[in-house]
Amino acid sequence: MALLPTNLRQWLSQYEEPVAVAPGVFFVFKNKDTEQSFLEQRYRHRSVNRLSSRIPKPTQAEKQKAFYEQHQAVLDALWQCWLALARPPLESEFSESEQIIEIFTTWKRGLNFLQRYHGDEALKLAFDARQDDLRVYFAMRLFEQKRIYRKLPEGLQRDVKAFFNTYKGAQEEGKKLLFSAGNSENIYAACQQAFADGYGYLDEEAALTLHTSLVSYLSPVLRVYIACATQLYGDITSVDLVKIHSLTGKLSLMIYDDFEDQALPRMVERIKIRLFDQRLEFYSYGDEFTPPYLYLKSRFINQDFPHYDQQVAFDKALASIESLDLSGYGMPADDFDDQLYKLWLEVDGFELKSSSRLPNLDDPCGKYHRFRDFIECGETQAKTGLANLPKQLESYNALVKLAVNIIDPVMDYFGGIELTYGFCSQELAKQIPARIAPNLDQHASHELNTRGNPICKRLGAACDFIVPDESMLEVAQWIVENTPFDRLYFYGDDLPIHVSYGKEHNRSIVVMKVAVSGRLYPVVTKREDFCLFNSPS
């Protein structure tokens, strides 16, 4: 917590009313016109230059279009000047006015041509946006009652006349806006509208959080609320996120480590501001407090932000993992890292990938098993004592996906299981009789043959298991209805089932029947038919 900016401001105020530009940093202006221009620029809408791009240009006659293209450079410059001012520019406000008069003979004819060519809609958007900027400016002048000016700069005088007719009218508009910002119901409604318009995220506590690059797009009442709260802090573009507590009269500013280029940036500083007494509280994260992750960052930015599409894809992948609790502020960073470790996942840039590290056999593989459990299981492995270790990193990753997507849900529902056959290396396969099919059954996972090709082109991973004291038909039917399995082989109500998880997600169901000769033969079965089977009584 730090209150030093207040003390510094009080000391400076003995000589000249200062302007806060950063924590503990103030400007003092010798020239009052310069000071007013600086403050007015602070509340200027920053997206004016983009307004014209939103409105498709009306179709023009070929002659008019050719004329415009002939003088496009100077006409485009004048149009941008007009949009920036949001009112018809004077000759003295455009550096190439002589060229315009040379083309059109009079200044007014040049403006009329531009207006006909581009239409009125962009001008209306620019006018409304600039009027809002000025309302914010005059609201903040009233809020800072100690800052008194005897006259307005010439450009601001023209703006007042164009947008409010009189100086008194501008003051009245600013006063209405300032009082409106002091009403929590207005702030709450404005936060709801901003969220509906796609700016930021509104949480269950009615707090709106968004990136500071979006503040200029907010309604005037929210911009005034933020400006009033940050009078001591200064320019908020130095922080990453701003959080408007619409019901409590507070504002939070958050700074993250490399916010733009990290899918999961970590908070390094948080500043809480109480609007009613301008009290600032600083909280730092690092040695004493573990920096928390910012989860689902795409909620707080928009499509213009760098890496937006990648961030959206990353957030969707993260949110799809049920064991990750991202509600509220999300999981503590250490718990999140531990859970990713157990899921054998890692963050690589803006991608959530399978882990790139080789595990120990006793590392977790899903919630209930270790890698050892899927590798050292089955009669032949127990007899031979073969290490049966995967040589391909992706085989380990496939075992984790099998555990997380199939085995863990089964155990959550039915309880303990007994693994009877899991991963099968080439060495182990040589010791097993001909009743196996390594090129089809997916027990070889992502292992390669002597030619460097996958032993089983289906890839993925598979295991056989039985649930003691349960109908294996009911277990198999539950898997079919509730998991994204690839292939399932059903041998009988009291026998282990074979199930795999792979990239094809084929959801193929095979019932093994007994022929008259006593040999087994496969029957591919539709899901709806298989789920109608009845367990023997």
Q: Which H or E run contains 137?
A: helix 121-143
Q: What is the DSSP letter of 49?
A: G
Tell me the mean pLDDT in the region 417-446. Answer: 90
Band the pLDDT of 37: cuts 50, 70, 90: confident
Band the pLDDT of 1: cuts 50, 70, 90: very low
pLDDT for 132: 94
Q: What is the DSSP letter of 56?
A: P
Q: Three-state SS for 310?
A: helix
Tell me the mean pLDDT in the region 453-470. Answer: 95
Band the pLDDT of 50: cuts 50, 70, 90: low
pLDDT for 277: 81
pLDDT for 276: 81
Cα distances from 275 to residues 242, 249, 271, 419, in angstroms, run 14, 6, 13, 62
The string of pLDDT tens digits covering residues 505-531 is: 899 999 999 887 878 889 999 999 998
Lowest mean pLDDT among 181-190, 277-286, 410-419: 277-286
Cβ-defined contacts of 433-442 (< 8 Å, 24+): 441/498, 441/500, 442/486, 442/487, 442/500, 442/502
pLDDT for 232: 78
Strand partners, 345: 354
Question: Is residue 444 a contact partner of residue 432, using CB atoms and an 8 Å limit?
Answer: no
pLDDT for 47: 62
* Among the listed residues 516, 515, 404, 511, the one whose alpha carbon sits nearest the alpha carbon of residue 460: 404
pLDDT for 427: 92
The string of pLDDT tens digits covering residues 234-266 is: 888 889 999 999 999 899 999 999 999 999 999
Strands 201-202 and 25-27: unpaired
Q: Three-state SS for 220?
A: helix
pLDDT for 72: 94
Strand partners, 525: 509
DSSP 189-202: HHHHHHHHTT-SEE
Q: Which H or E run contains 340?
A: helix 333-342
297: left (phi over 0), alpha (psi -120 to 50) or beta: alpha
Band the pLDDT of 537: cuts 50, 70, 90: very low
Band the pLDDT of 149: cuts 50, 70, 90: confident
Lowest mean pLDDT among 38-47, 299-308, 482-491: 38-47
pLDDT for 10: 80
Cα distances from 100 to residues 66, 70, 107, 116, 118, in angstroms, run 17, 13, 7, 16, 17
Question: Is residue 184 a contact partner of residue 167, using CB atoms and an 8 Å limit?
Answer: no
The string of pLDDT tens digits covering residues 297-325 is: 999 999 999 999 999 999 999 999 888 99
pLDDT for 51: 58
Q: How far apart are CA 141 and CA 32, in angstroms?
A: 13
Q: How far apart are CA 84 and CA 10, in angstroms?
A: 37
Is it the case that residue 144 has pLDDT exceeding 70?
Answer: yes
pLDDT for 17: 84
Q: How far apart are CA 205 and CA 184, in angstroms?
A: 13
Lowest mean pLDDT among 38-52, 408-422, 436-450: 38-52
The string of pLDDT tens digits covering residues 88-136 is: 999 999 999 999 999 999 999 999 999 999 999 999 999 999 999 999 9
Which residues contact residue 7 at a Cβ distance below 8 angstroms, ignoring those fewer than 6 apart? none
pLDDT for 64: 80
The string of pLDDT tens digits covering residues 171-204 is: 999 999 999 998 999 999 999 999 999 999 999 9
Full-model pTM: 0.75
Q: How far apart are CA 223 and CA 174, in angstroms?
A: 12
pLDDT for 392: 93
Band the pLDDT of 433: cuts 50, 70, 90: confident
Query: For the stretch 238-247, what's the b/e string if a residue is b when 16 or more beta carbons lie within 10 angstroms of its beta carbon?
Result: ebbbbbbbbe
Q: Where are the beta strands (DSSP E) in 417-470?
A: 418-421, 461-466
Q: What is the DSSP letter of 89?
A: P
The torsion defined by the Cα of 284, 231, 43 and 14, in degrees rounded to 10, comes to -140
258: left (phi over 0), alpha (psi -120 to 50) or beta: left
Phi, psi of 172 (to 5 degrees): -65, -40
Is it the case that residue 5 has pLDDT exceeding 70?
Answer: no
pLDDT for 57: 58
Band the pLDDT of 54: cuts 50, 70, 90: low
Q: How far apart are CA 464 and CA 418, in angstroms?
A: 9
Domain boundaries, given as residue ranges, for the chain = 59-118, 185-340, 364-530
pLDDT for 151: 84
